[in-house]
Amino acid sequence: MRIVLTLFLLLINLSAHNLQHKVWHEEATVLAFSFASNDDFSYESYEIYAPNREAPYQVGRTDAHSRVLFLPDSKGLWKIKVFSEDGHGKIVEVEVNSLNKITEVSNPQNSMAFLKGLAGIIILFIIFTVIYKIKKGKNEENIDSK
pLDDT digits (tens, 9 = 90+) for 26-58: 788 899 998 888 788 999 999 999 999 999 999
pTM: 0.58
Q: What is the pLDDT of residue 20?
A: 76
- The predicted-structure confidence for 73-110, as pLDDT tens digits, reads as follows 898 999 999 999 998 899 999 998 877 654 444 444 44
pLDDT (average), residues 7-33:
74
Chain CA centroid to CA 109, Å: 15
Consecutive H or E run containing 86: none
Consecutive H or E run containing 9: helix 2-16
Domain spanning 23-106: which CATH class is it, in words?
Answer: mainly beta
Query: Who wins on pLDDT, 105 or 62?
Result: 62
Q: What is the pLDDT of residue 145?
A: 61
111-145 and 2-16 helices, crossing angle to 10°: 150
Phi, psi of 15 (to 5 degrees): -70, -20
- Going from N- to C-terminal start, the domains of the chain cover 2-18+108-145, 23-106
Q: How far apart are CA 87 and CA 95, in angstroms?
A: 26
**136 close to 130: Cβ distance less than 8 angstroms:** no
Q: What is the pLDDT of residue 105?
A: 41
